Chain A
Amino acid sequence: MTKHLDRTELGLLIALPFLILVAFILPKWIVNYVHVSMGTGLVALGVMIQMRAGLVSFGQGLYFCVGGYAAGLMAKFLGVTDFFVLLASGIVAALILSSLLGFLLRRYREIFYAMLTLAVSMILFGLLSSTEELGSTDGFNLPTPSYLGWHPEGETSRLTLYTLTCCVAIGCAIVLNRFLKGPTGYVNEAIRENELRVEYLGTSARQAVHITYVLAATVSAIGGVLWALPLGHVDPEMTNWTTSGQFVFVSILSGTGNIVAPMIGTFILEIVRVYAVEISPNTWQMILGTMMLLTIIFLPKGLWSLFGGKKKSGKSAGADAPTAGE
């Protein structure tokens, strides 16, 4: 497991101090978008690793929301504010739920997987929207987190949270990269190509899908906690299909070529949206839609092909089958 690091992992580790440094150099408002993009970027990452197995989850917002709400509920009803406990509760909640749901979902493929994940996430949306104790659609607010008994305030608090978010996000990315390069990761590739052959070779496709599903859920829940804490607010919109849809679009737009792609893609899309709103507050959706179309037409493998496309060209020209980040 702990063999030497590959190029992506090395890059991620080198990027970490720079990412943290960003908070001190760039204007605060950009840092803010970087910060929230790491949360949502992790969810896009969760979508992306499922996409490697040919599965598109249109309900990944479910775990984004489960993470955020688990942390929120701990704070609201038990008065817990510790960052690590909140993060852990998000992870545990997602682990339990996804392990159970996995038994159902692992039987499905293609559009049916997409629709069933969507249905499950919308059931949670319905439940939360009609629960007045949890603020219904308005959601509720989270406290400023503390760290193992340390209660920083103001700017210190913001920077601490940012730094920890960077560390956790990069950590998740490295773990997922390992996963994609591990046995199950390659089984997933094979499932996308031809599931029947996987079974003939004596490997359980369903088990691989189940593992991937749980992993994606966990990462998304971590994203949910990391997103909710700087915002200080959660609401059921997190599990609405429009939110889940955005995660899918980010993953497709940025491409599945590399583990970093969805994270960067999330940020780029966010900035494009911000400027579209600034240029034309009334018709920004049109600008966003046009940008998307152009990206698909001219960069069929996603934005990532701008960066890393040259190195491994030609290998999979027809089908969109980029290989793991090697």
Chain B
Amino acid sequence: MLTATAIAVDGLGFAAWLFLSSVGLTLIYGVMKILNIAHGGFYALGAYSSAWAIGVYTTTGSTVALTFLLIPLAALIAGAVAGLIVERGVLKFMYGRDEVLMVLVTYAIFLILEDVTKLIWGTQSYVAWQPAFYFGTVEIFDIPYTVYKFITIGTALVVGVSLLLVLNRTRVGKLLLVVIEDREISGALGINVNLFFTVTFVSGAILGALGGAITAPEISVSPGIGAEIVVLSFAVIVIGGMGSIGGAMIGALIVGFARAASVHLYPPAELFSIYLVMAAVLAVKPYGLFALAESRKI
């Protein structure tokens, strides 16, 4: 019972983090068919700017509560600026190129972003634990959990649900679905496809940065965190079905629980539990759990 509860809570916490870290990736892939490796760079930028902002702010000695505003703000600014520069400066000229080539393009951007973060913030790590401690802990069966973890879970839920609502219930969302369905036709219908691309990419970048920003208080932000997140979030969205928001949620939950279960029950499996799950899911559902079947062109 104790273990089962612990697996549930730990799995949920890990899943929330995974979802926040990978939803931007799936959004960009869904709309633009770009597997964006630079996502790791946005994640790192978000984490660094959030940790840095919290650090600067707390030296003023003001109340820690306001840092909860700083986190999304840092993500918004970092993601928007970096996303705009990348999309307008580089990607714009490359639309329509081969999907695999675009992976390479974003990889090159990722390498550049890695060094840009290093030039801005140095190689030293940043810690900004204040928000993670602010609300203290709650005990479930004698195991303390930080309230911050539950805030992360809540944020993941809010982000996921609002994205689904925007996509399915608003005019903009419906237009976007048209763009996804057929770029050429929607262009002919007078939809500004390029604008949609820019907005999608920047939103994806902001979401990536938000993943990093919200994680920053719990970790030590250091060079290389971006590279770690890339593969992990790939696994999540592949399991769920690439380009599907709901799929990313399910994928995150599956990976989250798989990891928590292996840590609690059989630790040696932890290192490859994620890839095992991914291989197993793909073996049964070749295109992920939630992918739409695509018609084959004859």
Residues on the B chain within 8 Å of A104, using CB: 283
Contact (Cβ within 8 A) B271 A119: no
Stretch in contact with the other chain, from B77-85, B96-104, B175-183, B209-217: B96-104
Contacts of B235 in A (CB 8 A): 115, 119
Taken together as a complex, chains A and B put the C-alpha atoms of A9 and B105 apart, in Å, by 32
B145 interface residue, CB < 8 Å from A? no
Query: B225 near A: Cβ within 8 Å?
Result: no
Distance between A116 CB and nearest chain B CB, rounded to angstroms: 5
A292:B275 contact, CB within 8 angstroms = no
Q: How far, in Å, is A44 (CB) from chain B's closest CB? A: 13
Stretch at the interface among B44-52, B60-68, B107-115: B107-115
CB of A85, distance to nearest CB on chain B (Å): 31
Residues A116 and B279 in contact in the complex (CB < 8 Å), given A249-B104, A293-B108: yes
Contact B90 A115 (CB under 8 A): no
Pick the contact of A112: B99, B286, B296 (CB < 8 A).
B286
B74 in contact (CB, < 8 A): no
List, in ascending order, chain A residues with CB within 8 A of B272's CB: 122-123, 125-127
- Provide the bound-state CA to CA distance between A282 and B286, in Å: 42
Q: How far is A197 from B282 in the complex, measured between Cα atoms in Å?
A: 25
Per the bound structure, the CA–CA distance linking A123 and B272 in Å amounts to: 6
Dominant SS among interface residues on chain A: helix
Cβ distance B34 to chain A, nearest Cβ, rounded Å: 11
> Chain B residues near A242 (CB, 8 Å)?
227
Complex interface: chain B residues within 8 A of A195 (CB) = 296
A296 and B108 within 8 A (CB) = yes
Q: What separation, in Å, do the CA atoms of A300 and B268 have in the docked complex?
A: 45
Instruction: Confirm or deny: A245 has a beta carbon within 8 angstroms of a beta carbon on chain B.
Output: yes
| Binary interface encoding of chain B residues 241-275 relative to chain A, with 1 for a CB under 8 A from any of its CBs, else 0 | 01000000000000000000000000010011001
The reply to whether A286 and B115 form a contact with Cβ atoms under 8 Å apart is yes
Contact B283–A110 (Cβ < 8 Å): no
Whole-angstrom CA separation of A84 from B260 in the bound complex: 46
Select the residue from B35, B118, B227, B286 with max chain A CB neighbours within 10 A: B286
Total A-B residue contacts, Cβ distance less than 8 Å: 112
**Nearest chain B residue, comparing its CB with the CB of A284:** B115
Pair B296/A119 contact, Cβ less than 8 Å: no
Q: Are B100 and A56 in contact (CB under 8 A)?
A: yes
Chain B residues with CB under 8 Å of A197's CB are 298
A252 touches B101 (CB 8 A): yes
Cα-based distance from A243 to B227 in the complex (angstroms): 13
Q: Is the pair B111, A296 in contact by a Cβ cutoff of 8 Å?
A: no
Chain B min CB distance to A295 (Å):
9
* Contact status A292-B104, CB under 8 Å: yes
Residues of B213-229 at the interface with A, using a CB-CB cut-off of 8 Å, are 227
Query: In the complex, what's the smallest C-beta–C-beta distance from A134 to chain B, in angstroms?
Result: 15
Closest partner residue, chain B, to A195 (CB atom): B296
**A153 and B227 alpha carbons, distance in the complex (Å):** 41
Cβ-based interface call for A111 (8 A): yes
Residues in A with CB closer than 8 Å to B271 are: 126, 129-130
Closest A residue, CB atoms, query B294? A110
Chain B residues near A (Cβ < 8 Å): 35, 90, 93-94, 97-101, 103-105, 107-112, 114-116, 118-119, 227, 231, 234-235, 238, 242, 268, 271-272, 275-276, 278-279, 282-283, 286-288, 296-298
29 contacts between A and B (CB under 8 A): A56-B100, A107-B286, A111-B238, A112-B288, A115-B234, A116-B278, A116-B279, A118-B231, A119-B279, A122-B275, A126-B272, A126-B275, A194-B298, A195-B296, A196-B297, A242-B227, A245-B107, A248-B100, A286-B114, A286-B115, A289-B115, A290-B108, A292-B108, A293-B90, A296-B94, A296-B104, A300-B97, A300-B101, A320-B98
Excluding A112-B287, A283-B115, 14 further A-B contacts by CB distance (< 8 Å) are A111-B35, A115-B238, A120-B275, A122-B231, A127-B272, A129-B271, A130-B271, A195-B296, A196-B298, A245-B107, A248-B104, A289-B110, A289-B115, A297-B94
**9 tightest Cβ-Cβ pairs between the two chains A and B:** A126-B272, A289-B111, A286-B115, A292-B108, A126-B271, A289-B112, A122-B275, A289-B108, A119-B279
